[in-house]
Structure 1
Amino acid sequence: MRQPLLSRRMVLESVTRNSDGAGGFVESWVALGELWAEVKPRSGSERDREDVGVSRLDMKVTVRAAPVGSSRRPEAGQRLREGARIFRILAVMEPDLTGRYLICLAREEVAA
């Protein structure tokens, strides 16, 4: 594997559910830390969702590896944020046996 260019600072976030006091819950996102990443596009599409055009971009986000169980290790269901841009993490994998990097398959959706 070639050495990735980790030049984009992203915030790793995890969802938390808090009681709303009426038997339900409110979801909010909590920052777990900052990661430096390389972001590469994989594919994209556009579709209509409830009369709104949505552009969907699938991305490959490479970050430094962290030990299993570490709060700095991305997991599916979390997200990466770069300013106003949100990348939902769909899957995480190790690209090789060296264990130096992780690849996050992520999706960004933007109203078109």
Structure 2
Amino acid sequence: MVVFFDPGQLTARLSLETATATPDGQGGATTTWTEAASLWARIEPVSFQLRQDAGAETGTITHRVWMRFRQDIQAGQRLRKGERVFVVKLVRDPDETERYLVCQCEEKAR
């Protein structure tokens, strides 16, 4: 089944970020994020969850992020729009035609 998607809805400019771990000399690592690409996407909020962590209320918002098909996107990377950070959890080609990708992402609420 071919998915119809209007590419004119790709109106959010996002940065694709990849992680690099640098050993800290004490058995751990410091993670730095580097911009790997800039792309146009559509961000769709899907759900939110509020919870109490150590007496403070925190939340997680899930999104579906649509973009043109790319080979270099995988779970664990991040998408950034200004100060907003979307952690990529799942990447799929919705109709297996290599036209678009849909990423399931989580954004931490502030």
Determine the C-alpha separation between the residues in 2 that align with 1:23 and 1:56: 30
> What whole-Å deviation, never above 9, does each CA across 1:69-103 have from its counterpart, x for those lacking one?
xxxx3210011010000101000000113211000
The answer as to 2:58 corresponding to 1:54 is yes
The match for 1:110 is 109
Equivalent residue pairs, number: 106
The match for 1:88 is 87
Q: 1:41: Cα distance to partner? A: 1.0
Q: What SS is found at the alignment partner of 1:96?
A: coil
Q: 1:53: Cα distance to partner? A: 1.1
Look up the equivalent residue of 2:84 and give its one-letter code.
R
RMSD, matched Cα: 1.3
Tell me the TM-score normalised to structure 2 length.
Answer: 0.88
Counterpart selection for 2:6 from 3, 8, 13: 3
Gaps of 5+ in 2: none
The answer as to 2:44 corresponding to 1:45 is no
Percent of aligned pairs with the same amino acid: 35
> What whole-Å deviation, never above 9, does each CA across 1:42-70 have from its counterpart, x for those lacking one?
11111111222112111000011023xxx
Any runs of at least 4 consecutive aligned residues in structure 1 with deviations exceeding 3 A, and if so which?
A: none
The answer as to 2:77 corresponding to 1:78 is yes
Counterpart selection for 1:28 from 20, 27, 32: 32
> What whole-Å deviation, never above 9, does each CA across 1:13-52 have from its counterpart, x for those lacking one?
1111012234432111111011110000111111111222
Look up the equivalent residue of 1:99 and give its one-letter code.
E
101-110 or 16-25, which moves further after superposition? 16-25
The match for 2:96 is 97
